[in-house]
Amino acid sequence: MSAAVGYAAVAGQVVVVGAGAPLLTGWMRQVRARLEGRAGAGVLQPWRDTRKLLRKEPVTPVGTGPAFRAAPALLVATTVVAAALVPLLSTDTPVSSHADLIVVVSLIALGTLALALAGLDTGTAFGGMGASREMTVAALVEPTILLSVFALSIPAGTTNIPAIVTGAVHEPARLTSPAGLLATAALAVAVLAETGRIPVDNPSTHLELTMIHEAMVLEYAGPDLALVELGSQLRLTLLLGLLSSLFVPWGIATSASWAGLAVALVLFAAKLVLLGAVLAAAEVFWAKVRLFRVPELLAGSFLLAVLAVASSYFLSGAS
């Protein structure tokens, strides 16, 4: 019985993230369009784009190797595995003992690395330029994600994410502690950078020279492009989901019950819709910072993460 619920929770996480990611992107675009006074293409547009791209014939540029061909599948695969591990719906699943913080961050980094290698593999100026920029950003973002979640793992005494989340559900004061707030801020900035949102990158630009993420994937077409697009939508959903699990964990099922799972599913969707709307609304009021200011922004968020770890260590040590 409990095993069945656990497997259903894992399957539910993968299906919800997989099917919901394009919808979340469509929702965010729609919110943004409405706020800017435009009609918008509708929430379903990313799914329509995916369907269109999947029907096209696969085309790969001459001279590209396995790195280019494997990257889209690798990107989607790593994100799906991470989506299964991270406690989005339930902390009590058959895989929750493997859901270590470092594993999840490494999976995300692996996807980034695969795309960067694919960008280099094309041999074009844009691929190389995008890869170089993406790696610069990633080098600053990955430690920030690690450190900010690490700050939350100190009170829990483990780097196992379900354990951290369960601890926070039972003891909400951990989240409103200085460490919790600093870690939230640091992780939020890191998620913006990792998913290529304004103010770090502009996902809707057509200007090749300003791109970070898009520059790496310029050579993709057809089904491969559909996978790359789906991959980045999945990452956005996963990282926003991780953010919500860590900082608003209420509603996540902590025991194996069907009712708890159903509630968790509804609340998870509601949290993501809200978080997506907030992010989209914030983007309307922001502008993209100059590329050379991006490291300053990310260094700032890294500093917040370091402070979160320090305060978590000292404050919990004092108590």
For another protein, the closer CB: 32 or 271 = 32
CA distance 44 to 63: 36
For Cα atoms 41, 44, 46, give the angle at the middle one, nearest 5 degrees: 85
Among 86, 191, 198, 307, binds another protein (CB under 8 A): 198
Among 39, 63, 173, 204, binds another protein (CB under 8 A): 204
Instruction: Note whether 205 binds another protein by CB under 8 A.
Output: yes
> Which 20-59 residues touch another protein, going by CB under 8 A?
32, 35-38
DSSP 90: B
For Cα atoms 245, 277, 83, give the angle at the middle one, nearest 5 degrees: 35
Among 286, 296, 299, 314, binds another protein (CB under 8 A): 286
Instruction: Note whether 199 binds another protein by CB under 8 A.
Output: yes
Instruction: Note whether 63 binds another protein by CB under 8 A.
Output: no
Chain centroid to CA 119: how far? Answer: 20
Instruction: Note whether 288 binds another protein by CB under 8 A.
Output: yes
Instruction: Note whether 207 binds another protein by CB under 8 A.
Output: yes
Scored b (16 or more CB within 10 A) or e, 219-239 reads bbbbbbbbbbbbbbbbbbbbb
For Cα atoms 135, 136, 138, give the angle at the middle one, nearest 5 degrees: 60
For another protein, the closer CB: 116 or 265 = 116
Least separation in angstroms between residue 286's CB and another protein is: 7
Instruction: Note whether 296 binds another protein by CB under 8 A.
Output: no
CB atoms within 10 A of CB 140: 19
Considering only the stretches 60-68, 104-112, 197-205, 227-235, report the one whose residues sit in contact with another protein under the rule CB under 8 A: 197-205
Q: Contact 22/30 with Cβ under 8 angstroms?
A: no
CA distance 278 to 257: 31
> Which 110-129 residues touch another protein, going by CB under 8 A?
125-126, 128-129
Q: Contact 34/121 with Cβ under 8 angstroms?
A: no
Instruction: Note whether 278 binds another protein by CB under 8 A.
Output: no
The binding site for another protein (CB under 8 A) comprises: 32, 35-38, 125-126, 128-129, 198-199, 202, 204-210, 284-293
